[in-house]
C-alpha cells in the first residue's frame, strides 16, 4: 500500500483531502493527513471581528467535520519533515513515511521580526487582526475607544490576503462614522508599496478610494521598528509616524517546521514550480496554498484554483504522466469597502485587475474594479461558500484559469 | 529598452535602467551606475553588498531579498538603508547590473 501524506489540514489541505479521497484507488493508496490543531478558523472572518460584525463563534468549526471518511487524521505538531528520507517526525516521536507528500502548512504572522513590536503594548494599543486573539482583543479596544490617530501598517510584503489591510481601513472609516466619532479619528494607511496596491490600475483605483474616505496614504514606508513607549512607528530610514492605535500586519512567514526542515527560503516559503505546483527540489513533494513561494496572492481563492490544477497533477504523477503546467496565478478577491458595498478584483500572474463583469461576461452579477452592493453580498456569502463548498472540494462555477472574457483593457 | 555605453562597452538596459543581461556587467561600470542614482563615491561597504548580490545571483538565479542579505550575507538591514537610502534592494541591484527585483503581490 502506498502512502499519500497531506501535511497541514487548513484551507488547502482539507480541500485536497476531499478531492483526492473519492478518486484514489484505495487498494493502492492510503491517505493520511496531519495537523496540529483541532479547530478550523475561517480566517477571512477575522476582518469583521474588530467591528463587532462577526464574533468568535462565527469563524470557528471543528476541523474533523470537514475531513473525508476513509483517511487517517493525526492531530499532532510535526517536529520535522525529512524529504530526503521521505518521512516526517511528529512531536510525540512517531515517524510517518510517505511515497507522495502534499505540503499545505500555510503562513502566519511573526511580530517578533520587528524590533519593539512585541512588548508591554502588544495587544494594548498595538494589535494585529490576522489571528483570532488579535482580532478579538482589538474588538475589546475599539468598542471603548473614543478616538485618536489610527495607523494601519503593512510591515513588509508578501502578506496573505494583500487586500485585507485596505479593507480594514475602509471598515474603520465606516465604523467610526456610524459611531458618530469619525471627526475624532484620524486614519493613516502606511505601506511599503509605492501605492495603495501592487498592480498599477488597481493601485490607482483603490488610492482614490482612500482619498475619498479621508484616509491618508503614506507609501514607500518600510517599517523598521516600533518605539512603543512613545507610540511611534519608525522606517528603516528613521522617518517617524505617530499613532494612538497601531494596527499592524506584521511580517508573514511560512510555518516554522518548514524552516526547521530546511525546505524554505528566507521567509520559510517553499520554492515551488509556478505552474505545476511541484516542489523545485523533491519530485514527490507538491506544495499548495500559502506555503508556496509563488508570486501570486496568498488567499483561499488562490488555494482553490491551485487545488484544481494539483488534483489533476497528483493523478498524472501517480499514473506516470507528464505534469500539466496549468496554474496561471489566478486570484479572485472581494474587497469590502464599507457602508454595505464592495469591490471585486480578478487577476493572474500576467494580467492585472481590470474592470468588467464577473463571472458572466457582460452580465455579472458581480462588477470588477467597481464599487457595488452586489459585491458586498459576494463577500458576505463567501463564508457560506467557504464552509459548504470550498473546503469540501466542490466544483465552483469559476474556472481555475483566469479568463479575459468580461474584462475591459483600460 | 535603451542601449548605453558604460566603461566603453555597449549594454542593453530596460526603461528604468536595469540591465537586461547581468552577464554584460563589469566591475568598472559600477561607479558610473551608482552616480546615476546619486550614490558617489562607492565605498568598500557598498562593494561588500554588490559582491554578495552578484555571488548570490550566480548561485540562486535571483536577486537576493533584504532578509537574505541579512541572513546569508551578514549585512544588517540598518546598514543597507544607510548605504542605499530608500529602497536598498532596488538600488543595489541597479548598481550590480542585475534585473529589477520582483515586487511581491
Ligand atoms: C484577516 C484575513 C483575511 C483574509 N481574507 C481572505 C478573503 O477574503 N478571501 C480569501 O480567499 N482569502 C482570505 N484570507 C487568506 C486565507 O485565509 C488563506 O490564504 C488560506 O487560509 C490559506 O490556506 P492554507 O491551507 O494554505 O493555510 P491555513 O489554512 O493557514 O492552514 C495551514 C495548516 O497547517 C497547519 N500546520 C502548520 N504547521 C504545522 C505543524 N508544524 N504541524 C502540524 N500542522 C501544522 C496549521 O495548523 C493549519 O491548519 C484571509 C486571511 C486573513 C488572515
Domain residue spans in chain B? Answer: 2-95
Q: Looking at the structure, do residues A121 and A244 belong to the same domain, yes or no?
A: yes
Residue B58 contacts A, CB cutoff 8 Å = no
Contacts of A259 by beta carbon, 8 Å cutoff, 6+ apart: A253, A268
- Percent of all residues in chain A with a pLDDT value above 90, rounded to a whole number: 97
Question: Does residue A115 have a pLDDT over 60?
Answer: yes
Q: Is residue A44 part of a domain?
A: yes
Residue B15 contacts A, CB cutoff 8 Å = no
Q: What does pLDDT average to over chain A?
A: 97
Query: What confidence tier does A146 reach under pLDDT thresholds 50, 70, 90?
Result: very high
Q: CB B104 to CB A267 under 8 A?
A: no
Query: What confidence tier does B87 reach under pLDDT thresholds 50, 70, 90?
Result: confident
Q: Which of A299, A331, A380 to mutate to test the pocket of ligand 1 (most atoms within 8 A of CB)?
A: A299
Q: Looking at the structure, do residues A123 and A241 belong to the same domain, yes or no?
A: yes
CA A263 – ligand 1 centroid, Å = 19
Q: How confident is the model at residue A258, as a pLDDT? A: 98
Q: Torsions phi, psi of A334, nearest 5?
A: -85, 135
- Catalytic residue list contains B76: no
Per the structure, how many domains does chain A have? 3
B9 membership: H or E segment, kind and range: strand B9-13
Q: Looking at the structure, do residues A230 and A265 belong to the same domain, yes or no?
A: no
What average pLDDT does this structure show over B14-26? 92
Question: Does residue A17 have a pLDDT over 50?
Answer: yes
B4 membership: H or E segment, kind and range: strand B2-6
Q: Looking at the structure, do residues A271 and A233 belong to the same domain, yes or no?
A: no
Pick the residue from chain A with its C-alpha nearest to B78.
A236
Q: Looking at the structure, do residues A222 and A314 belong to the same domain, yes or no?
A: no
Q: What is the pLDDT of residues A148-169, one digit of tens each?
A: 999 999 999 999 999 999 999 9
Q: Is residue A385 part of a domain?
A: yes
Residue B71 contacts A, CB cutoff 8 Å = yes
Q: Looking at the structure, do residues A102 and A114 belong to the same domain, yes or no?
A: no
Catalytic residue among B1, B59, B104, B105: B104
B13 membership: H or E segment, kind and range: strand B9-13
**ipTM for the complex shown:** 0.85
Count of CB atoms within 10 A of residue A117's CB?
Answer: 23
Q: Is the CB of A130 under 6 A from ligand 1?
A: yes
Q: What is the pLDDT of residues A20-49, one digit of tens each?
A: 999 999 999 999 999 999 999 999 999 999
- Percent of all residues in chain A with a pLDDT value above 70, rounded to a whole number: 100
The answer to whether the beta carbons of residues A134 and A123 sit under 8 Å apart is yes
Which of A237, A268, A295 to mutate against chain B (most B CBs within 10 Å)? A237
Q: What is the pLDDT of residues A260-274, one digit of tens each?
A: 999 999 999 999 999
Q: How confident is the model at residue B60, as a pLDDT? A: 87
Q: How confident is the model at residue B102, as a pLDDT? A: 73
Range of the domain at A66: 2-106+255-318
Q: Looking at the structure, do residues A201 and A235 belong to the same domain, yes or no?
A: yes
A 134-193 → B contacts, CB under 8 A = 157-158, 162, 193
Q: Looking at the structure, do residues A233 and A130 belong to the same domain, yes or no?
A: yes
Would you put residue A54 in left (φ > 0), alpha (ψ -120 to 50) or beta?
A: beta
Pick the residue from chain A with its C-alpha nearest to B86.
A237
- The minimum CA-CA distance between B83 and chain A, rounded to whole Å, is 11
Question: Does residue B104 have a pLDDT over 70?
Answer: no
Question: Does residue B105 have a pLDDT over 50?
Answer: no
Q: How confident is the model at residue A396, as a pLDDT? A: 87
Q: Looking at the structure, do residues A246 and A117 belong to the same domain, yes or no?
A: yes
* Nearest one of A71, A78, A72, A156 to A114, comparing CA atoms: A156
Q: What is the pLDDT of residues A331-363, one digit of tens each?
A: 999 999 999 999 999 999 999 999 999 999 999
Q: Looking at the structure, do residues A245 and A116 belong to the same domain, yes or no?
A: yes
In the numeric block, the cell 547581468 is attached to: B22
Q: Is residue A150 part of a domain?
A: yes
Q: How confident is the model at residue B103, as a pLDDT? A: 61
Question: Does residue B62 have a pLDDT over 50?
Answer: yes
Q: What is the pLDDT of residues A193-233, one digit of tens each?
A: 999 998 899 999 999 999 999 999 999 999 999 999 999 99
- Distances in Å between the Cα of A16 and the Cα atoms of A75, A83, A302, A304 are 17, 20, 13, 9
- The minimum CA-CA distance between B72 and chain A, rounded to whole Å, is 9
Q: Looking at the structure, do residues A53 and A123 belong to the same domain, yes or no?
A: no
Contacts of B12 by beta carbon, 8 Å cutoff, 6+ apart: B1, B2, B3, B19, B20, B21, B24
CATH code of residue A42: 3.50.50.60
CA A129 – ligand 1 centroid, Å = 14
**C-alpha distance across the termini of chain A, in Å:** 55
What average pLDDT does this structure show over B72-91? 93
Q: Is the CB of A34 under 6 A from ligand 1?
A: yes
Q: Grid coordinates in use for A309?
A: 490544477
What average pLDDT does this structure show over A266-294? 98
Question: Does residue B68 have a pLDDT over 90?
Answer: yes
- Distances in Å between the Cα of A354 and the Cα atoms of A304, A307, A336, A347 are 21, 24, 17, 8
Q: Grid coordinates in use for A387?
A: 464552509
Q: Return d(Cα A131, Cα A273) in angstroms, integer.
A: 29
Q: Looking at the structure, do residues A7 and A41 belong to the same domain, yes or no?
A: yes
Q: Return d(Cα A346, Cα B82) in angstroms, integer.
A: 39
Q: What is the pLDDT of residues A64-82, one digit of tens each?
A: 999 999 999 999 999 999 9
Amino acid at each position: 500500500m502506498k502512502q499519500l501524506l497531506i501535511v497541514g489540514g487548513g484551507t488547502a489541505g482539507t480541500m485536497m483531502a476531499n478531492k483526492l479521497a473519492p478518486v484514489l484507488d484505495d487498494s493502492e493508496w492510503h491517505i493520511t493527513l496531519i495537523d496540529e490543531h483541532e479547530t478550523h478558523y475561517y480566517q477571512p472572518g477575522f476582518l469583521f471581528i474588530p467591528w463587532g460584525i462577526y464574533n468568535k463563534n462565527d469563524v470557528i468549526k471543528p476541523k474533523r467535520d470537514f475531513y473525508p471518511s476513509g483517511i487517517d487524521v493525526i492531530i499532532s505538531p510535526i517536529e520535522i519533515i525529512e524529504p530526503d528520507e521521505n518521512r516526517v517526525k511528529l512531536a510525540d516521536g512517531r515517524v510517518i513515511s510517505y511515497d507522495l507528500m502534499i505540503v499545505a502548512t500555510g503562513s502566519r504572522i511573526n511580530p517578533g521580526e520587528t524590533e519593539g513590536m512585541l512588548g508591554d503594548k502588544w495587544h494594548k494599543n498595538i494589535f494585529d487582526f490576522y489571528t483570532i486573539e488579535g482580532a478579538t482583543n482589538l474588538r475589546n479596544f475599539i468598542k471603548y475607544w473614543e478616538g485618536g490617530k489610527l495607523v494601519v501598517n503593512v510591515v513588509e510584503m508578501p502578506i496573505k490576503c494583500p487586500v485585507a489591510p485596505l479593507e480594514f481601513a475602509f471598515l474603520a472609516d465606516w465604523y467610526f462614522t456610524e459611531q458618530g466619532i469619525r471627526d475624532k479619528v484620524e486614519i493613516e494607511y502606511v505601506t511599503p508599496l509605492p501605492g495603495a496596491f501592487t498592480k498599477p490600475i488597481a493601485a490607482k483605483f483603490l488610492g482614490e478610494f482612500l482619498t475619498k474616505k479621508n484616509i491618508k496614504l503614506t507609501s514607500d514606508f518600510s517599517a523598521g521598528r516600533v518605539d512603543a513607549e512613545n507610540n511611534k512607528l519608525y522606517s528603516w530610514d528613521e522617518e517617524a509616524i505617530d499613532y494612538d492605535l497601531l494596527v499592524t500586519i506584521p511580517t508573514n512567514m511560512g510555518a516554522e517546521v518548514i524552516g526547521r526542515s530546511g525546505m524554505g527560503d528566507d521567509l520559510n516559503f517553499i520554492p515551488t514550480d509556478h505552474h505545476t505546483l511541484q516542489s523545485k527540489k523533491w519530485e514527490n513533494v507538491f506544495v499548495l496554498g500559502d506555503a508556496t513561494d509563488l508570486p501570486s496572492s496568498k488567499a483561499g481563492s488562490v488555494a482553490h484554483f491551485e487545488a484544481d490544477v494539483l488534483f489533476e497533477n497528483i493523478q498524472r504523477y501517480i499514473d506516470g504522466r507528464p505534469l500539466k503546467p496549468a496554474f496561471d496565478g489566478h486570484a479572485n478577491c472581494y474587497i469590502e469597502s464599507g457602508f454595505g458595498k464592495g469591490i471585486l478584483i480578478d487577476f493572474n500572474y500576467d494580467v492585472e485587475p481590470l474592470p468588467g463583469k464577473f463571472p458572466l461576461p457582460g452580465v455579472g452579477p458581480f462588477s470588477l474594479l467597481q464599487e457595488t452592493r452586489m459585491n458586498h453580498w459576494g463577500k458576505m456569502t463567501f463564508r457560506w461558500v467557504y464552509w459548504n463548498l470550498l473546503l469540501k472540494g466542490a466544483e465552483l462555477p469559476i474556472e481555475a484559469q483566469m479568463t479575459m472574457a468580461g474584462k475591459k483593457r483600460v | 529598452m535603451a542601449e548605453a555605453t558604460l566603461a566603453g562597452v555597449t549594454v542593453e538596459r530596460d526603461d528604468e535602467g536595469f540591465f537586461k543581461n547581468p552577464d554584460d556587467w563589469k566591475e568598472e561600470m559600477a561607479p558610473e551606475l551608482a552616480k546615476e542614482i546619486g550614490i558617489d563615491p562607492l565605498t568598500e561597504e557598498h562593494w561588500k553588498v554588490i559582491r554578495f548580490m552578484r555571488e548570490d545571483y550566480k548561485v540562486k538565479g535571483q536577486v537576493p531579498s533584504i532578509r537574505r542579505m541579512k541572513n546569508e550575507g551578514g549585512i544588517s538591514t540598518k546598514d543597507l538603508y544607510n548605504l542605499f537610502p530608500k529602497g536598498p534592494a532596488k538600488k543595489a541591484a541597479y548598481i550590480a547590473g542585475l534585473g529589477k527585483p520582483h515586487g511581491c503581490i
